[in-house]
Structures are given as C-alpha cells and as structure tokens.
C-alpha cells in the first residue's frame, strides 16, 4: 500500500466559507501585528478561542487602538513580565482572565499552548500563532523550535499549527508525503466595510529541522529528487510555486514556508 499523502490548504485559515476551514484557536505572541486589519477580522471570525501570551496582550491592545476596532481575547497567560500595567487594567476591566505562570522552564508560548490543549474541547484544535519572527533572532529561533516540538504526532492528531508572520505562513511537514495547495486565493475577507482579499505568494522555502533531510519535490520551479538538505550544506530557499499543488516527500521533518500576497494571486 502506498504511503498516505497528507494534504494541506494553509490559506483556509482565512476562508470566509465555514466549509473550508475547521475551528481554530489563536495565540498572540509579543510581536507587532502588521497584517492588514481585514485578515485579523477573518481569523477572529474563524476562531473559537483566542489567548494572548503575556506581551501579546499589549500587541492586541495596540492593534485595536490604532484601528479603532474591538478584537478581544479569551485569556492572557504568562510570567507577565511584559504585560504593561495600563494594558492589564484595560483587559481586567473587560473581565478577561489573566493567569500568572512563573515557571521559568517554559516559555509564554508553551504556557499558551498547554492552556489551550488542557481543555478536552480544544485538545486537537488547529492553532494559528501570530508573530514570533519579527524581533530578536534568539526569540525567533525559539518560536520555530517550539513550533517543531508542538507538532509531535506524525498524523497531526493533536491538531496542526500555523505560524503566521507579517509576510508568510509556516508549518511543519512531518516525515512522509505531503501535498500543499499553493495557489489558493480568497476574496471577501473580513467583516463590515473593511473587506479585502488574500492569496498565497510564489516564494517557498523548505528547511531541515532534525539534521540532514532528504527531500523530493514536484510543482516547484526548481524541483529536486532525493536531495540532501542540512544547515551547513544545501538549503532550499526562495524557490517558486509552479503548480496548483506542491508535493513534498521527506525522510525527516522539515519546515515549509510560503509567502502571502494581499492583492491575491501569486505574481
């Protein structure tokens, strides 16, 4: 029997049609929220639970203030060393639970994931992580490290996790075969008068996570066959999408990243 191909439709996190996305949880990390506002509105519409990891509550407050909007969070958790007193008061006045977890052996990102997964109704929900790649290098690498750790199951039975930066969506491809819908586009994103559109871009990177990986691809401008990739050796960055579906086969876990195009399409 041929190995099962795991299919991905990463742009469905923004889908305005409920049949195209499963319920999501959102984690807000402590990075500036720089996507177009209508994308955040659509993510909130598609989510069933939102949690701010410590200083992520500051970032959500700033987004609301800058755009006179009212996106909220269900809870705030972390060691709270970054949460501003004025922002804490703002969320407390609105009845948002604020939970102090002083464990110095876990990051605020980890605390947020554990809190989501602790509920039986959310134990296998997909999670969209906002931020984490726009600041210090060590913090960015820590987010990627934890993104990998949180995707332990080969079948993603604990839910899939998407890291959403201001320019790209990134996720872990476990050992095996994958098919990624790489030319999707959605219109009518958001709510009210501020609607827009979004598509996946053409730039793709496939990065090794566990030492050397051997990958084969189909659907890219520069496809490879049984190609060894490792930091310190060859690494696949800035490849281009050519087909509707990009196929990746890998003998070890790799990171897949594709950029976003807010005007739609992949030009």
Count of domains forming the chain = 1
Q: Does 105 fall in a domain?
A: yes
Check pLDDT > 60 for residue 2: no
Q: What is the pLDDT of residue 266?
A: 42
**3-state secondary structure (DSSP) of residue 108:** helix
Q: Does 233 fall in a domain?
A: yes
pLDDT per residue as tens digits for the range 116-142: 999 999 999 999 999 866 667 777 777
Q: What is the mean pLDDT of residues 56-73?
A: 96
Q: Does 21 fall in a domain?
A: yes
How distant, in Å, are the alpha carbons of 87, 95, 186, 196 from that of 189? 29, 29, 7, 5
Q: How far apart are CA 133 and CA 43, in angstroms?
A: 19
Q: What is the CATH number of the domain that holds 94?
A: 3.40.50.10240
Q: Does 205 fall in a domain?
A: yes
pLDDT per residue as tens digits for the range 42-56: 999 999 999 999 999
How distant, in Å, are the alpha carbons of 10, 44, 218, 244 from that of 215? 20, 35, 10, 19
More confident residue, 232 or 170: 170
Q: Does 266 fall in a domain?
A: no
151 Cα distance to chain centroid: 12
- What is the overall mean pLDDT for the chain? 91
Q: What is the pLDDT of residue 83?
A: 97
Q: Does 165 fall in a domain?
A: yes
Residue environment code for 188-203, b if the CB has 16+ CB neighbours within 10 A, otherwise e = ebbeeeeebbbbbbbb
Q: What is the pLDDT of residue 137?
A: 73
Range of the domain at 238: 5-261
Listed in sequence order, the DSSP H helices in 107-178 are 108-117, 137-150
What pTM did the predictor assign? 0.93
Q: What is the mean pLDDT of residues 221-247?
A: 93
Check pLDDT > 50 for residue 267: no
Check pLDDT > 70 for residue 193: no
Q: How far apart are CA 97 and CA 74, in angstroms?
A: 7
pLDDT per residue as tens digits for the range 146-162: 888 888 888 999 999 99
Q: Does 267 fall in a domain?
A: no
Q: Does 242 fall in a domain?
A: yes
């Amino acid at each position: 029997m041929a190995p099962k191909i795991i299919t991905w439709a990463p742009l469905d996190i923004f889908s305005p049609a409920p049949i195209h996305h499963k319920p999501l949880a959102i984690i807000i990390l402590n990075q500036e929220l720089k996507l177009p506002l209508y994308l955040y509105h659509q993510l909130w519409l598609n989510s069933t639970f939102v949690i701010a990891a410590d200083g992520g509550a500051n970032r959500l407050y700033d987004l609301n203030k800058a755009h006179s909007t009212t996106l909220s969070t269900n809870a705030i958790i972390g060691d709270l060393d970054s949460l501003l007193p004025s922002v804490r008061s703002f969320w407390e006045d609105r009845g948002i639970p604020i939970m102090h977890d002083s464990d110095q052996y876990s990051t605020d990102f980890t605390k947020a994931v554990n809190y989501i997964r602790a509920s039986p109704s959310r134990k296998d929900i997909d999670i969209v992580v906002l931020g984490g790649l726009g600041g210090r290098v060590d913090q960015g690498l820590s987010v990627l490290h934890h993104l990998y750790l949180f995707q332990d199951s080969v079948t993603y039975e604990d839910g899939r996790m998407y890291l959403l930066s201001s320019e790209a969506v990134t996720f872990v491809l476990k050992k095996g075969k994958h098919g990624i819908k790489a030319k999707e586009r959605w219109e009518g994103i958001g709510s009210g008068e501020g609607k827009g559109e979004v598509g996946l871009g053409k730039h793709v990177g496939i990065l090794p996570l566990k030492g050397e990986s051997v990958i084969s691809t189909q659907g890219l401008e520069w496809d490879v066959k049984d190609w060894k990739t490792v930091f310190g050796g060859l690494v696949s960055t800035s490849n281009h999408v050519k087909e509707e579906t990009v196929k990746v086969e890998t003998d070890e876990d790799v990171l897949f990243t594709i950029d976003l195009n807010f005007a739609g399409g992949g030009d």
